[in-house]
Structure 1
Amino acid sequence: MGGEKRIPFSFARRPCHKAAMKKLDRLPTRAEFSHVTDWVFDLDNTLYPHHVNLFAQIDRNMTAYVAELLSLDPAEAKKLQKAYYRDHGTTLQGLMIHHGVDPNDFLERAHAIDYSVVPADPALGEAIRALPGRKFIFTNGSTAHAEMTARALGILDHFDEIFDIVAADFVPKPAGDTYDKFMSLHRVDTRNAVMFEDLPRNLVVPKALGMKTVLLVPRNLEYEFVEAWETSSDADEQIDYVTEDLTGFLSRVVATV
């Protein structure tokens, strides 16, 4: 980004993911999920598949925000935006630390997007509805964004609560304090909980807290036009399951619980 050529690369070609690759075909069983009472889902690229590419709109809005704020050309703004994302967990956190931006203004402008590109997914809704226990959305985005996205998918009514970046005091995953705030607020027993995420680094803390962890990957294990560090991780041993089909994964859990 910002002068660097981004090229598609395959999850299957990255040696750091060999352990996770082996888990792609590992199917959930009744014994492994029968104790789960709290189901925690990331939002973007987790509750909807990577190929929907909704986040691309948010990404463009964030780049435009940085460019306007700091009078940068688009390439330099993109480079700085991604550096803040990499170093601070979200672009917003970096902008707050280094430039004192109004987080609410940033979130409103970043999420001014077209949600009609998100297809309704009744099968996913049915699978989530059938899960025994409570269901949460835990996102580094805003509640408004989560509600709009989940409403477009047709799954909003199946969730008990949304924990967003505002509730986290604007400190994003993977910060341990943010997970602690979520668990404390909702009285989640991590021994009876599972976390679904698309970023390996965001599963390190949940695993350490005793949660089961599920990594969502793109269809055919192909990440296109992403930064290598976003999917590169030393945390493969912290991932219990890998799936490219959330609906199928949950449906199997429901069928065996």
Structure 2
Amino acid sequence: MTNQPSRERFAHITDWVFDLDNTLYPHHTNLFSQIDVRMTAYVSDLLQMNREEARSLQKELYREYGTTLNGLMTRYEIDPDDFLQKVHDIDYSWVAPDPSLGEAIKALPGRKFIFTNGDRGHAERTARQLGVLDQFDDIFDIVAAGLVPKPAAATYDRFMALHRVAGPNAAMFEDLARNLAVPKKSGMTTVLVVPNNFEPTFSEIWEQDADEEDDVDFVTDDLASFLRSVIGT
């Protein structure tokens, strides 16, 4: 189902920017489900709610504030470090090593970054388990973003200023189309990574991002294969 690119469309790219969860590793890994359960438990413990009420509030916060963390900080002034430590205390063995992805990322010309709404520790543990950590120049996490999550424009501006990234020379890979809107406006080439065998009809795209169809240049359900086609291997 991969929307195959031509090498020419990516020949000018010098900076490669990857989201982490459900992008570098496939959605069927379901690692984020562990984090989701822990976020619900955190809300339940914090507000003395039953799990059903806590989950409903958690999703409300996610929809309104972009991340559960942002919502909890805004409404309840929680300690973000405590939250990040507790929700990322998970079993990373769920992530299968992917040597072919590591080789494909290594072969990309230029710099490579992980840009995530998670924290650095989570990104490092995930990428290490996946076998790709050593291929990246840096990780831009939610702490580096000043705890303001994607898709806030200020967060992308902060990333691009910190690493001197010029939009027209960069490509961004994401599993949420709405997180590609700002990169697209900055001139980046945008790639939406969807679950394997996912039919790319934008009316039902992951997380219901139909309005962002114009922000997506390419769609793939196989990141390693897509990158190999970019570099012609």
Interval of TM-score (by shorter of Structure 1 and Structure 2): over 0.9
TM-score by length of 2: 0.96
Q: Which amino acid aligns with 2:155?
A: T
1:87 maps to 2:101: no
Instruction: Work out whether 1:187 is the aligned partner of 2:164.
Output: yes
Is 1:117 matched up with 2:104?
A: no
* Residue 128 of structure 2 corresponds to residue 144 of structure 1: no
Check the 8 A contact 2:176/2:206 in 1, yes or no.
no
Q: Hey, what's the Cα distance between the residues in 2 that align with 1:123 and 1:25?
A: 16
Which residue of structure 2 lines up, in the alignment, with residue 97 of structure 1? 74
Letter in 2 for 1:73: N
Q: Which residue of 1 aligns with 2:47?
A: 70
TM-score by length of structure 1 reads: 0.87
Q: Which amino acid aligns with 1:117?
A: W
Counterpart residue identity of residue 83, structure 1: E
Aligned: 1:165 with 2:165: no
Letter matched to residue 150 of structure 1: A
Structure 2 counterpart of 1:251, from 204, 210, 228? 228
Question: Percent same amino acid among aligned pairs?
Answer: 63
Paired position in structure 1 for 2:22 = 45
Count of aligned positions? 230
How big is the shift at 1:231?
Answer: 2.7
Structure 2 contact 101–132 (Cα < 8 Å) conserved: yes
> Could you tell me how far 1:255 is from its partner in structure 2?
1.2
2:60 is aligned with 1:106: no
1:222 Cα offset (Å): 6.7
Gaps of 5+ in 2: none
> 2:21 and 2:188 mapped to 1: Cα distance?
20
> What is the rounded CA distance, in whole Å, between the counterparts of 1:213 and 1:222 in structure 2?
18
1:109 & 1:242 partners in 2: Cα distance? 33
- Which residue of 1 is the match for residue 178 of structure 2? 201
* Aligned twin of 2:187: 210
Q: CA–CA distance in 2 between the matches of 1:26 and 1:44?
A: 21
1:228 Cα offset (Å): 8.5
Aligned position for 1:18? none
Structure 1 residue ranges (4+ consecutive) displaced by more than 4 angstroms after TM superposition: none
Letter of the structure 1 residue corresponding to residue 43 of structure 2: V
Deviations 1:32-60 (A, max 9, x none): 00000000000000000000000000000
Shift of the 229–86 alpha-carbon distance from structure 1 to 2, 3 Å rule, reads farther
Given the alignment of the two structures, is residue 56 of structure 1 paired with residue 33 of structure 2, yes or no?
yes
Note the C-alpha offset of 1:229.
8.1
1:232 shift after superposition: 2.9
Superposed CA RMSD: 1.6
Task: Compute the displacement of 1:25 (Å).
Answer: 4.6
SS state of the match for residue 125, structure 2?
helix
Q: Deviations over 1:200-234 (max 9, x none)?
A: 110000001100000011111179xxx98823330
CA contact (8 A) 2:65 2:71 kept: yes
Moved more, 83-92 or 94-103: 83-92
